[in-house]
Amino acid sequence: MFGPRKTLGSAAAPEGRLAKTLGWPHLIALGVGAIVGTGIYTLTGVGAERAGPAVILAFAIAGAVCACAALAYAELATMIPAAGSAYTFSYTAVGETIAWIVGWSLILEYSLACSTVAVGWSGYLVGWVQAVGVTLPPELLVGPHGGGIVNLPAVLVALAVMGMLVAGTRESATLNIVLVVIKLVALTVFVAFALPAFDGGNLQPFMPYGFGSTEVDGAKRGVMAAAAIVFFAFYGFDTVATSAEEARNPGRDLTIGIVGSMVVCTVIYMAVAVAAVGAVPFRALADSPEPLALVLRSLGQPGAAYLIALAAVIALPSVILVMMYGQSRVFFVMARDGLLPRWLAAVSPRSGAPTRITLLTGVAIAVIAGLVRLDRIAELANAGTLIAFISVGASLMILRRRAPDAPRRFRCPAPFVVGTFTILGCLYLFSSLPVTTFFWCAVWNAVGLTLYFLYGRRHSLLRRPAG
C-alpha cells in the first residue's frame, strides 16, 4: 500500500512473530525508563563543562528537536504497528538500502547508549560504595583510556540486564515500571533540596563559550556543542516505537507512550537542570561522574546525596534494559527480513523474546562499556540517533504525500513543518559533534554498507517475488 515494502514483515513465518504483551502503562514506563537516566544523572556535568550555565538552554534545544521527532514517531508507529521503529518506517517510505543504513545506525545508537548508561551507573556505584568507606581496586573501575584494565561494574550490569531480557519482555517491562518510579522520586528529592539553594550569581556568565559549537582548547564548546551531547538525555521515546508489534492496542497505546513519555521527561529535565546549575558554580559540575550527588554534598546534604546515588545505582539499569530491548528488536526485524542471518531471529517459545539476538547484543554492550570513555560513547551514539531521526522526519512527509488517506490513529499536526524542523534540527546537532565522531560514524556505516551489499541485499526476503 505504502511503497517499496508491500506488506510489513510479510516474509516472516508465524513463529517469527513477537507476543502482544504490553499495554500503555508499560509503554510510558519504557519511554520514561529510557529517557530519564544517564543523560540527566551523568551528562549534566559534561554539558555544563561545554556550555556553562547555558546547559539549561542546551537541554531546551535538544528537547525541542526530540519533541518534533516524537510527533513524527507517534504518527508512523500507529500507521505501521510493526517492530523495527525507524528502520521499518524507512523501509516503507524509501526502500531497503536507506532502511539498512537507518537500521545499522539504530544498532549503533542502542548499543552505545546501553554502554554509556552502564559507564554512568558504574560512576554512581563507585561514589556510593566509597561513601560507606569501601575502596575498590581502581584498575577494575576504568578502561585502558584511564589507566585501568576494565570497568568491571559496567560490564556486570550490562550482563545482568541481558539476563533479565532473556527471561521475557513482559517480566522486564513490569520491573521497569518499579525502577522508573524510583528514579522519579529521586529526582524530585534532588529538586526539593537543590532549588532552595538557587543563586542567580551561579548563572553568570550564562553563555561563557557562546552559542555555536566552536573549538576551545582542543575541545568543542558552546551551547550547540552541549546540545549535541545532552541530546542523548532525551531520546528513548523511539524505543517505544520498536515495541509496536508487542503492543496490545498499538493505535492508542503507542500514541500515549511516545507523546506522554516526552512530556513527562521534558518537565523533569528543565527542573533538574535549573536546580543543579543554580545551586553550584558550573565548573564544579564539569565532567563529574555523579553531578547530582556532588551538588547535594556541596550543599551540606550528604544523606540526600547518598540516597540520590543509591537511587541511581538501583534504577539506572532500567535505561540499559530499555535500550537493550530496543536494539534487540531492530536487530530481530533486520534478521527476520533476511538482511542479517535469519537464525538470529529465533524467538523463545517460552518467553516470546528473541533470545539469540539479546545474548549477542548484551555481550557486545558489556565489552564496549568495559573499555571505552563515557563521553566518546555518547557522542557516537548520538550520531546514530540523529541519522535515524532525519530519516523519520523524511518518512513522515513522504508518506503524507504518497498515502494521505491511509489510516492513522494519531495524525501529527503540521507534518511538513514538523518533518522539516526535525531534519534541519538534527543536521545542525550533527554538525556540532566533534570531527572524530564524524570519522567513526563514517567507518561504522562503511562497514554496514559493505555487509549489506555482500550479504543483506542478496538474502533479503522482501526482495523476493511473492509466491
For 86-103, the pLDDT digits (tens) are 888 898 898 899 999 998
Q: Name the band, by pLDDT with cuts 50, 70 and 90, for residue 241.
A: low
Report pTM. 0.76
Q: What is the mean pLDDT of the chain?
A: 81
Mean pLDDT (whole number) for 205-232? 84
Is 10 part of a structural domain of the chain?
no
Is 8 part of a structural domain of the chain?
no
Higher pLDDT, 39 or 429: 429
The whole-angstrom separation of Cα 112 and Cα 438 is: 15
Longest CA–CA separation in the chain, Å: 71
Domain harbouring 161, CATH code: 1.20.1740.10
pLDDT digits (tens, 9 = 90+) for 332-391: 888 888 888 888 877 777 766 778 888 888 898 899 888 877 667 777 888 888 998 999
pLDDT over threshold 70, residue 406: yes
Predicted pLDDT of residue 466:
46
Q: Give the total number of structural domains in the chain.
A: 1
Mean pLDDT (whole number) for 44-48? 82
pLDDT digits (tens, 9 = 90+) for 446-455: 999 999 999 9
Higher pLDDT, 393 or 117: 393
Predicted pLDDT of residue 368:
87
**In this structure, how many other beta carbons lie within 10 angstroms of the beta carbon of residue 154?**
32
Cross-strand partners of 220: 215
Is 358 part of a structural domain of the chain?
yes
CB under 8 A, 24+ apart: contacts of 359-362:
359/162, 359/166, 360/331, 361/110, 361/111, 361/162, 361/324, 361/327, 361/328, 361/331, 362/158, 362/159, 362/161, 362/162, 362/163, 362/165, 362/324
Which candidate, 83, 306, 78, 75, places its Cα nearest to that of 189? 306
The whole-angstrom separation of Cα 85 and Cα 81 is: 9
Which candidate, 434, 406, 277, 339, places its Cα nearest to that of 87? 339
Please give the residue range of the domain that contains residue 371. Answer: 19-460
Is 9 part of a structural domain of the chain?
no
Is 74 part of a structural domain of the chain?
yes
Is 4 part of a structural domain of the chain?
no
The whole-angstrom separation of Cα 374 and Cα 291 is: 14
For residue 240, the Cα-to-chain-centroid distance in whole angstroms is 11
pLDDT over threshold 70, residue 465: no
pLDDT digits (tens, 9 = 90+) for 164-191: 777 765 555 566 677 778 888 888 889 9
- pLDDT above 70: percentage of residues in the chain: 86
